[in-house]
Structure 1
Amino acid sequence: MEPKAARLRRGEGLRGEQEDRPSAEGNSEKDRGLDLVQWTRHMEAVKMQLLEQAQGPLMELLDRAMWEAVQSYPPQGGPPPSAPPDSSSKAREPSLGKRKIFIIRKSLLELMLEFDLLIFSFGQLPLALMTWVPMFLSTLLVPYQALRLWARPRAGGAWTLGVGLGCVLLAAHNAVLCVLPVHVALKYQLPPASRCVLVFEQVRLLMKSYSFLREAVPGALCARVGDGKQAPSFSSYLYFLFCPTLIYRKTYPRTPNVRWNYVAKNFAQALGCVLYACFILSRLCVPVFANMSREPFSTRALVLSIMHATLPGIFMLLLIFFAFLHCWLNAFAEMLRFGDRMFYRDWWNSTSFSNYYRTWNVVVHDWLYSYVYQDGLWLLGGRARGAAMLGVFLVSAVVHEYIFCFVLGFFYPVMLILFLVIGGLMNFMMHDRHTGPAWNVLMWTMLFLGQGIQVSLYCQEWYARRHCPLPQTTFWGLVTPRSWSCHT
């Protein structure tokens, strides 16, 4: 048997151990916390050492990249630096001792404007302007003189002779307007923009001459028999040749004064649109289509090129609309105090192609409606609305295709098919009874697709005719698309 005193001493020892255990566990937790802090400090020190060791190679890599970028833009007037800077020595320099070094370099976001396309497109512009002078003088003098000959009082054979002479003068006038610009463009190989000047003035002067004779001849004949009507004055005809309308009237509503700052702003905006159009062509079209004819033809490549051309195509459409129908016509209207400036309507809200055709270009639409549609109804009878409308589409499509053929220098009836066939079908299918935003979205989708097809096919044909010139000029060679067979 264990003595009682021994048992008591052993129990006290156990209690003492139990009382000492919490203090030992607390000390171990404190030690673990100290170890964690020391380990964190050690990892921070290792991280700083790694960053300091990696800073040197990283700075050297960045300096070499900067030097190579500078090499791509050599300075003018002196040779480029022959070796990259000593980046290792820079990395070892203290931050307070670094100094900025100035070198010849360009901004990262600098816009590189190239005017090669603009200069090429407007080449031989003085020749085009000189050709315009006889075209304008013929329009200024011949139609008005022919009107005066037809308005003479009847006196034996004098009136018949005057009518015949007036017809001869008009034939010569049409020959000047139709033959002279084509002859100059083909003989001197005018570039596209200079051709635009000639063909737009050719079409404009022809439409103005027809409108003047169509509106003034009946009144002049009535004045000849003495019903009190007066023949138009020469000043009214001269004003009509410059004012922004194709419908002749003796008088127009006029504004009280001219805002020359408004004129300058519109001309500046038109010039900006021309520059932006050249930038779009040189950046989004030339790199894609310049070498397309050198690759094998495939349907996939054609579809991708059309999809790529939709954006520059719609940009060109909007630029042409804003530059000509808004800026150019408003500038001339302001200078001439021409009051009626409804040159276009809200065509962008159209839910039908029939409304789009009426509102896109009100100036040309008024001429077509007055002298093709209404005169067609008068000749064919009031019920032949479909035939009269078809005549409007036919005249408009032929003139548009002629303009493209004149400007580009080749015949490729993309515009004729899109305008006459596709546009005619859309005009009858998407009529005015269709309303709602879905139809407007459909119209814009068709516009995007149509512009993409035009830009893609015309650009391909343009470069194909330069990469694959004809060994012998023939009629079928001129009218057959070269892009179908040119794969160099």
Structure 2
Amino acid sequence: MSINDNLKNHESIHSVKVLIKHRRTGEFIARKSLLTDLFQISHINCVRNAFIAGFILMISRQTITDLIHYGRFNWTFELLFQTVGKLHIVAIVWSLMTLSTAFTVFYGTYMWINNRKFVGVYLKFYDIIWLLIYVCYLTGLMVIPSWQIIKYQLPIVSSAIILAEQLRQLMKIHSFVRENVGKILQQSNKSIDQKLSFEFSHFNQYLYFLFAPTLLYRDNYPRTSIIQWNIVMKMFGQFIIILFLVYNIITNFWMPIFTRFFTNDDITFEFMISTIFDLMLPGVLIVILSFYGFFHCWLNGFAELLRFADRMFYEDWWNLTSAATFWRSWNVVVHDWLYVYVYQDLRKLSNGNRNLSTSCVVLLSAIFHEYFMIVSLGFFSPILIAWFGLFGVLFRFAFPRAKGTRWNIVLLTFVPICVAIIPYFYVLEVSARYFPSKRKTFWNIMFNNDKPSNYEL
């Protein structure tokens, strides 16, 4: 490599560090995703090429093995058909949710603000009525789609699509309402001479926000001048390829491990340790592919399609040394929403108690993750609440400002352990319900009950 190439690489690395350092929560500026900048460095791009080569070899191995043993491709999509189905119901539920979020929320908020002409006690009573309407609407948006999932017994992936959209729209609704409430309160605190005419958000601004890759509402975002269709096709094309790779890893590496739960009568300590370690490597590959596929490809594809110029959807979580900064950097989109609308509001209510506010944010995140799993799987086993809610809080306070390479190693070691233990316990719970006479579910253990568990949806 020439001296000029080395200088360009060093300049690229320096510019990326400056970009990360000056990022502020809730601030929107035109910037690229971190990996987009890093892939301009030949040394970093080589790592991606190594992953691509590894996946090509993995697919080639499977193909050659099928041709040798069966004389044909033996690619099975049985798992796909079992986990994805009834897509017409998914489309109907998603359409109704989106139409309701687009029109009911916008015009309901407009009616509340436009008719807010009372004073004194009447104004408070008027606001309380609309607050109750707002809470009832959010409750309905939580309950009705979940009820449809249970009623039609949707497969796990189909359920996950509806639940992911449900939670995304809930956060977007709260952000839109919260920001406009903030405008009203700012106007109310001004004197008569200082008050300006209040301009409510336009419907096209709100509609753009519903599909933009952010959960923080602003009337205007930095926009690019044109849509680069080659980038759109590249991002969504890579996303489809990653879906295929994740499915291939699950069917060829995870599913043979999961069958052990249904073929072995006894779950021994040796079985548990060997199974967890066997799940680690495929689990890490799934996490890396899922992160790159969603946070980089999917979100960048939509950002380019909508000319959304701020592409900072994640930070360099792989370099971090504490649990707090890890969760903050893994998913910038959700973290910003939690920080602005949960953490900051709780700090105001608790007179600046940071530890209480942080603990509530972690627990709220764990509860919504657990809710996602409850409705998708059809039963309640508090694995994510215990793992993220309990261990997440402990890690947060045990290593709040840890520094150094050794802590980065600890964190990177914890990731594969996490992605192996969580599916292990969920499959163990499923197998306990499959063999109720031989194994106990979580609730059987908790209440020392030998009868099959009834804690199913």
Higher mean alpha-carbon deviation, 161-170 vs 293-302, is at 161-170
2:4 aligned residue: none
Kindly tell me: are residues 288 and 341 of structure 1, through their superposed partners in 2, closer, same or farther at Cα, counting changes over 3 Å? same
Match of 2:361 among 380, 392, 415: 392
For residues 63-462 of structure 1, the aligned pairs below 5 Å read 73=70, 105-106=71-72, 112-151=74-113, 152-154=115-117, 163=127, 166-167=130-131, 169-220=133-184, 226-293=195-262, 294-382=264-352, 384-432=353-401, 434-462=402-430
Q: C-alpha separation between the residues in 2 aligned to 1:393 and 1:171? A: 22
Against the structure 1 CA distance between its residues 153 and 416, is the aligned structure 2 distance closer, same or farther, given a 3 Å change threshold? Answer: closer
Letter matched to residue 428 of structure 2:
Q
Shift of 1:429: 1.6
* CA displacement at 1:446 relative to structure 2: 0.8
1:361 positional shift: 0.3
1:356 CA displacement: 0.5
Q: Check conservation: 1:354, 1:431, Cα contact below 8 A.
A: yes
Q: CA 1:407–1:163 in structure 2 vs 1: closer, same or farther (change >3 Å)?
A: same
Residue 202 of structure 1, CA deviation: 0.8
**1-structure distance, mates of 2:142, 2:409:** 40
Q: Is the 8 A contact 1:263 1:334 kept in 2?
A: yes
Task: Please give the alpha-carbon distance, in whole angstroms, between the structure 2 residues aligned to 1:451 and 1:292.
Answer: 18
Pair 1:469–1:345, CA change in 2 (3 A): farther
Gaps of 5+ in 2: 1-65
**Cα distance change, pair 202–483 in 1 and its aligned pair in 2 (3 A):** farther
CA distance in 1, matches of 2:451, 2:214: 41
Deviation at 1:234?
Answer: 1.3
Shift of 1:475: 12
Aligned to 2:197, what secondary structure does the other structure show?
coil
Deviations 1:229-284 (A, max 9, x none): 31111111111111001111110000111112211221122222222222111111
Identical aligned residues as a percent: 35
Cα 1:311/1:236, change in 2 over 3 Å:
same
By how many angstroms is 1:316 displaced? 2.1
| Distance in structure 1 (CA, Å) of the matches to 2:311 and 2:437 | 46
Q: Give the Cα separation in 2 of the matches to 1:481 and 1:318.
A: 40
User: Residue 410 of structure 1 contacts residue 479 of structure 1 at CA under 8 Å; is this kept in 2?
Assistant: no
Q: In the alignment, which residue of structure 2 is the partner of 1:86?
A: none
SS in 1 for 2:196: coil
In 2, Cα distance between equivalents of 1:173 and 1:295: 47
1:448 to 1:72, Cα distance in 2 relative to 1, 3 A? closer
Asked if the contact 2:437/2:452 (under 8 Å) is kept, the reply is no
| 8 Å CA contact 2:429, 2:442 repeated in 1 | no
- Map of 2:16 onto structure 1: none
After superposition, the Cα gap between the structure-2 partners of 1:323 and 1:71, relative to the gap in structure 1 and judged at 3 Å, is closer
Report the AA paired with residue 247 of structure 1.
Answer: L
Inter-partner Cα distance in structure 2 for 1:144 and 1:469: 53
For CA contacts below 8 A with separation 6 or more, give which structure has more relative contact order. Answer: 2
Structure 1 residues 175 and 481, CA gap change in structure 2 (3 angstroms): farther
Matches of 2:340 and 2:279, distance apart in 1: 36
Q: Secondary structure at the match of 1:262?
A: helix
Summarize deviations over 1:69-97 as a string: whole Å, max 9, x none. 99964xxxxxxxxxxxxxxxxxxxxxxxx
How far apart, CA to CA, are the structure 2 residues paired with 1:478 and 1:243? 45
Query: Judging changes above 3 Å, is the alpha-carbon distance between structure 1 residues 71 and 396 closer, same or farther for their aligned structure 2 residues?
Result: closer
Q: Tell which structure's C-alpha radius of gyration is larger.
A: 1
Change (3 A) 1:134 1:456: same
Contact 1:149 1:162 in 2 (8 A): no
2: CA distance, partners of 1:481 / 1:285: 31
Distance in 2 (alpha carbons) for counterparts of 1:477 and 1:329: 42
Taking the aligned partners of 2:182 and 2:106, their CA distance within structure 1 comes to 14
Compare 129-138 and 162-171 and name the one that shifted more. 162-171
Contact 2:444/2:452, CA 8 A, preserved across alignment: no
Unaligned ranges ≥5, structure 1: 1-68, 74-104
**Contact 2:436 2:451 (C-alpha < 8 Å) held by counterparts:** no
- Decide whether aligned partners of structure 1 residues 482 and 113 sit closer, same or farther in structure 2, where only a CA change above 3 A counts: farther
User: The residue matched to 1:288 in structure 2 has which SS?
Assistant: helix
Matched with 2:60 is: none
CA distance in 2, matches of 1:71, 1:322: 33
Change (3 A) 1:475 1:400: closer
Structure 1 residue 359, shift from structure 2 partner: 0.4
The residue type equivalent to 1:460 in the other structure is L
- The change in CA–CA distance for 1:481 and 1:447 in structure 2 (over 3 A counts) is farther
Closer/same/farther in 2, CA of residues 134 and 167 from structure 1, 3 Å limit: farther
Displacement of 1:173 after TM fit?
2.5
